[in-house]
Amino acid sequence: MTNLFNLIVSLLATTTGAISGIGGGIIIKPVYDAFSGLPISTINFMSGCTVFSMSIVSLLKSRNSGVKLDKVKSTTLALGAAVGGIIGKQIFQLTKAIFKNDNFIGAGQAIILIIMTLYVFWFIKNKEKITMKNVNNLGIAALIGFSLGMISAFLGIGGGPINIAILAYFFNMNSKTCSLNSIYIIFFSQTTSLLTTFITKTVPTYNSMDLIFMIIGGIAGGFIGSTISKRLSNKGVDKIFSVVLMIILIICTYNFFRFI
């Protein structure tokens, strides 16, 4: 891989991720699965670092965006996601140890992503017809956050479209509020996921220059994406989100057939 490839992919992924709230890992992972030739654990680690850097910049930039977090509810979701991130990481390591086959694991992750993406695409297109919930129970909020963090850590995507659909449905959030809460959740879940990787000494082999250029792209993507997001309406965010979903679906479908 060239440094330019790393920079462009991470920049485009995290820019759209910062706008829509999907983080960017769900774009980075399938692209690298398809074109990098790297082991899944290495891709997951580098994607996580990139999305983590994006989330920091996006949250700092969002302070003056006019979109606010519900400090209690959002933090409960995020803390649940943080614990879920640890569990999801351990489930991935266990799965890897049991099957010892990157192609099998990659195909499984691809099919899960395809199913999730199809569901979220349907949800976005039909959400005006769906009666949303407004969960105020913090225990349920923590459980929802836990589930989101676990899924994203297991898949190595650092968030993803499922965050947006779940937040919109259970907490009746508009698109921009969903986006900010999703990035907040991503920050917490990736923090614990990466810390777990370092503490358990399961950091995979990686090229430091690849990671540096990806993180640079993540930082720039967080800055650009959050700047663009301020100027978009909720409908504008939805349109970008729908296009991104189609791209993800195409790449994941390609990867599934490549892995099998």
DSSP output for 118-158: HHHHHHHHHGGGS-------HHHHHHHHHHHHHHHHHHT-S
The answer for residues whose C-beta is within 8 angstroms of residue 43's C-beta and 6 or more apart is 28, 29, 32, 33, 36, 156
Residue 15: what pLDDT? 93
In this structure, are residues 125 and 241 in contact, taking their beta carbons and an 8 Å threshold? Answer: no
Residue 146: per-residue pLDDT: 94
Instruction: Identify the pLDDT of residue 167.
Output: 92
In this predicted structure, what is the pLDDT of residue 209?
A: 94
pLDDT at 239: 86
Q: According to the model, what pLDDT value does residue 215 have?
A: 96
Give the tokens for residue 211.
């990671």
Sign of CA dihedral 155, 25, 193, 173: negative
8 neighbors 210 (Cβ within 8 angstroms): no
Tell me the residue type at 204.
P
What pLDDT shows up at residue 244? 86
Residue 41's pLDDT is what?
86
Residues in the chain where the model's pLDDT stays below 70: 1, 158
Please state whether the predicted TM-score (pTM) of the whole model is above 0.75.
yes
